[in-house]
Amino acid sequence: MTKKQRYNAVLQWFEQNMPIAESELVFHNEYELLVAVMLSAQCTDKRVNMVTPKLFEQYPTPQALAQASEEEIFQIIRSISYPNAKSKHLKGMAEKLISDYQGQVPNTVEALQTLPGVGRKTANVVCAVAWNQPTMAVDTHIFRVSERIGLTTHSKNPLQTEKTLIQFSLNTKKTRIHQHLIPKAHHWLLLHGRYICQARKPKCEQCGIKQWCASAEE
């Protein structure tokens, strides 16, 4: 089985068995999504969701967040990983939204990456979730799952994995369908890695895609 055949089979299984795949972060608009994704770096969604209600209540807009001090932001997000850096980035992000984007979250990966604290993965997540764009954010779960089940082989970094997975979707007669599935594919692979194909003890007996898993063939 080729990697492309495996990719198509895996996507088809997820589409049939997990038609609804969404972010576990709680948000109500693009601004809240961006903040939540920034906070989720090296932190669990569960922990982020414990912090964001108070943060969004006090700073419901980029304008409000930009006026806050880093210390005020820190006091709210102190239980999040790397709170000092994230406090600085959140304030800087809000200020740049106001100065460069009229207070609106930009809708391209390139523009999002001009914001403090926003890297390619964060930008990809925001574009996929907020606007259903065909972007593939590769986190540790997706990187691991892609290698383990055989969608990639000896991928050197998340960017290489991202390009490989996107390429599978573009090189097909069903390009439009597959492009539409890319945002969902991000969630499918992420959730599969988070709950089933875990790093130390993968739950292979509960895995619905094990028939296409390269590791299961070994």
CB 38 within 8 A of CB 80: no
Our answer to whether residue 121 is catalytic in this structure is: yes
Query: 121, 163, 174, 203: which is the annotated catalytic residue?
Result: 121
Judged by DSSP in three states, 119 sits in: coil
Judged by DSSP in three states, 25 sits in: coil
* Dihedral angle sign, alpha carbons of residues 100, 85, 131, 179: positive
Our answer to whether residue 139 is catalytic in this structure is: yes
Q: Using H for helix, E for strand and C for coil, what is the string for 167-206?
A: HHHHCCCCHHHHHHHHHHHHHHHHHHHHHCCCCCCCCHHH
CB 43 within 8 A of CB 81: yes
Query: 3, 86, 91, 139: which is the annotated catalytic residue?
Result: 139
Which residues are known catalytic residues?
A: 121, 139
